[in-house]
Chain A
Amino acid sequence: MTELRKFWALTLRNIKCYFKDKFLFFVSLITPMILLVLFATFLRTVYIDSFKGILGLFGMEAEERVINGLAGSWLFSSVMSVCSVTVAVCSNAVMIQDKIDGTVNDLRIAPVESATLSLSYFVGNFIVTLIVMLAALAVGFVYLAVVGWYITVTGVLLILADTLCCVLFGTLLAGVVESFISQQGALSAFSSLVSSLYGFICGAYMPLSQFSVGMRNVIGVLPGTYGVGIMRKHFMQGYVEELSRQGLSEEGVKAFMDGFDGNLYVGGRQIPTWAMYTILLGTCAVLLAAYIVIVVCQSRRRTHK
């Protein structure tokens, strides 16, 4: 019970440290802000023209609300999947900063189990990332409600489930990789690399279907791609169903989903939704096991010769 209270005190402290650090908060929101700026300046027009182009191929003209909502849902599915990793990586900087400042020594001199301290960093990071993601999701839903809302209740629940999966993946990935970082330079380099690169490699800026086949296969190996896959599918589902109701043929629906990553193909094969969840959660299980091994090894190194 006492250890649980210690754990909660540490977790709360880690969350506060993140939100009080305005610079850290700002850095972790760089990628979604870039996406929003790109969307506002030209991506929205590009998406809408592409949507209309595909619909035109099937001799259909959809309502503006559906098209606008579809563009918004594509944007927010990108924001959500990218943020789950970039926010987690930046938020985990609290743990690295503690090592750099020596604050971790002040925590270690207290009668707290090493595992409690490590777990508090992980859970703190998970909660922070989830809060930021849910805030982003709320903004996204409000935007979609204004421009055109076609997401079903089931869709909302699935998006929430996807958010949880993506946050878990991002938090575990950050926890494992950043366990080896203890210097400011390395932290800055890693954060910058993830912030700038992750959006591209997971197809946040442009659909994976527009990448070369070889590149698509490489990206298909990365588990984060499946986080984007499930998010895209569930964000777009309601809109595509509405297009279907408005007269888009089954072939048209498929072309639409294929063109905008609603369907994900790796090695020429379509990856079913259950497989995407399995790969993502399986990766989470592997990362969790790796994280536990790292924590145990680091704890042993601290307490033994």
Chain B
Amino acid sequence: MVIEIEDLCKAYKNVQAVDGLSFRVSEGELFAFLGVNGAGKSTTINIISGILPKDSGVVKVCGEDIETRAQSVKSKVGVVFQNSVLDKRLTVRDNLECRAALYGIYGKRYRQRLEEMDSLLGLSDILKRPLVKLSGGQRRRADIARALIHDPELLILDEPTTGLDPQTRQTVWRVIEQLRTKQGLTVFLTTHYMEEASVADHVIILHGGRKAAEGTPHELKTLYAKDTLRVYSHLDEIAAYLAERGYGISREKDCIDIQVKGTAEATGLIAARPELFDDYEVLKGDMDSVFLNVTDREITEE
């Protein structure tokens, strides 16, 4: 296991940010850690990366306790923060050189690592430029290079693609995939883009500092996502037919969306009045639906 967390608790004054959280992340896994803002994601990340002390519980990274073996754990973890935290007025090269030295990497070994980062992320055009003069995408490349400069075993990505254009997001994901497949890097991801979470091996949805749902994307979709039957013709008749059966509908300008539990339910509705359903599609529930349903359920329970 790369991460083992048991009954983790952390409070800020009267706010319980993380409340009895337990989970595990296996080696080489892409782990998605989801939750609304304030759910406790950043607090958990800060504890794992050694910035923040925990109140109670056990946190082990690569088999080592984060409190008793902090320095060793830190050398195995790389973090890409939500906002770039490199020195804005220094060049990318200066930034990387300084950060590498903090991991005991300098001289020939540093130059070798820099070359590897360059071939992976294409840094040569930005190495001599100060961060303040880089575009958002270029800055992100520098952030990732900084997180990987010491060849970590665990890469924590805290909303790495927020605010990036689609092309840069694709580049970031290409690099992450390359690192996972070629080097077996374990990736711990937080994101608000559910399509990114849908390719994860394992997902946890956090709410109010507690685990609200856990599983593979497929398991979560099966449990929490609702399929949509979308029809494009006979809209008034279908609306009346569904109202009779007690269905809630969402009517758009040229279609009606009906939330159904699965394909079987959709088939049942269509089979009962086939003459109405001559232009329709069944849309599978996605991670957006999972996320909304899980967090809505938690809010309702509160």
Are the CB atoms of A110 and B87 closer together than 8 Å? no
Of the residues B55, B79, B104, contact of A109 by C-beta under 8 Å: B79
Are the CB atoms of A111 and B87 closer together than 8 Å? no
Q: How far is the CB of A13 from chain B (nearest CB, A)?
A: 4
| B106 located at the interface, meaning its Cβ lies under 8 Å from any Cβ of chain A in the complex | yes
Of the residues A5, A17, A102, A113, contact of B85 by C-beta under 8 Å: A102
Are the CB atoms of B85 and A16 closer together than 8 Å? no
| B49 located at the interface, meaning its Cβ lies under 8 Å from any Cβ of chain A in the complex | yes
| A296 located at the interface, meaning its Cβ lies under 8 Å from any Cβ of chain B in the complex | no
| B98 located at the interface, meaning its Cβ lies under 8 Å from any Cβ of chain A in the complex | yes
CB contact under 8 A between A102 and B55, given known A6-B104, A110-B103, A111-B74: no
A30 to B88, alpha carbons, bound, how many Å?
A: 24
Interface range for A? 20 to 34
| A20 located at the interface, meaning its Cβ lies under 8 Å from any Cβ of chain B in the complex | yes
Are the CB atoms of A16 and B94 closer together than 8 Å? yes
Of the residues B72, B75, B86, contact of A103 by C-beta under 8 Å: B86
For A305, what are the chain B residues with a Cβ–Cβ distance below 8 Å?
Answer: 53-55
Of the residues A6, A21, A110, contact of B89 by C-beta under 8 Å: A21
| A302 located at the interface, meaning its Cβ lies under 8 Å from any Cβ of chain B in the complex | yes
Are the CB atoms of A111 and B89 closer together than 8 Å? no
Per-residue 0/1 for B75-89: is the Cβ within 8 Å of any A Cβ (1 yes, 0 no)? 101010101011111
For A304, what are the chain B residues with a Cβ–Cβ distance below 8 Å?
Answer: 53
Chain A interface mostly: helix
Are the CB atoms of B103 and A111 closer together than 8 Å? yes
Per-residue 0/1 for A271-305: is the Cβ within 8 Å of any B Cβ (1 yes, 0 no)? 00000000000000000000000000000001111
CB contact under 8 A between A20 and B89, given known A12-B98, A110-B99: yes
| B101 located at the interface, meaning its Cβ lies under 8 Å from any Cβ of chain A in the complex | yes
Contacts of A38-65 to chain B: CB distance below 8 A: none
Of the residues B53, B94, B99, contact of A106 by C-beta under 8 Å: B99
Are the CB atoms of A110 and B74 closer together than 8 Å? yes
Are the CB atoms of B87 and A103 closer together than 8 Å? yes
For B46, what are the chain A residues with a Cβ–Cβ distance below 8 Å?
Answer: 105
Contacts of B132-157 to chain A: CB distance below 8 A: 146
A127 to B13, alpha carbons, bound, how many Å?
A: 39
Are the CB atoms of B98 and A13 closer together than 8 Å? yes
| A241 located at the interface, meaning its Cβ lies under 8 Å from any Cβ of chain B in the complex | no
A110 to B74, alpha carbons, bound, how many Å?
A: 6
A86 to B97, alpha carbons, bound, how many Å?
A: 30
Are the CB atoms of A108 and B72 closer together than 8 Å? no
Residue from B75, B77, B102 having most chain A Cβ neighbours under 10 A: B102
Contacts of A94-140 to chain B: CB distance below 8 A: 101-103, 105-113
Per-residue 0/1 for B105-129: is the Cβ within 8 Å of any A Cβ (1 yes, 0 no)? 0100000000000000000000000
For A154, what are the chain B residues with a Cβ–Cβ distance below 8 Å?
Answer: none
Known interface pairs A109-B50, A303-B70; 16 further A-B residue pairs with C-beta atoms within 8 A, sorted by A's residue number: A5-B104, A8-B101, A9-B98, A13-B98, A17-B87, A21-B89, A106-B81, A106-B86, A106-B99, A106-B146, A109-B51, A109-B79, A110-B102, A111-B72, A111-B74, A302-B52
| Cβ-closest 3 pairs across A and B | A9-B101, A110-B102, A20-B89
